[in-house]
Amino acid sequence: MELATPLSFNHFLGRRHGDFMSLAHTPQRFADRALSAHTPVPSLYLSGQDVVAAGVSGAIVGGVVAASAVLGRDALEDLTAV
């Protein structure tokens, strides 16, 4: 068996700040209103794990959040209606 965690990755990479794959999951990160699908650049939207939360689930929901921003409506309702 093999086990890896963000702490073990950071240890073996010699990192002291941040995280190895995404933004560090701190209370400040989740309070940051700048993390969203919207950007100051017209027609540029962000998706992926740092828009919502880390991991595969966060990346999936980040894609739905980006689709919602592009479409101007809640795309999550489309998924629950199926």
Q: CB of 68 within 8 A of CB of 76?
A: yes
User: How far apart are alpha carbons 28 and 76 in whole angstroms?
Assistant: 26
Rg, Å, the chain Cα set: 15
Q: CB of 47 within 8 A of CB of 65?
A: yes
Higher pLDDT, 53 or 17: 53
Alpha helices in the chain (DSSP H): 6-13, 27-31, 55-71, 76-80
Query: pLDDT digits over 32-58, tens only?
Result: 888 889 999 999 999 988 888 877 888
pTM of this structure = 0.67
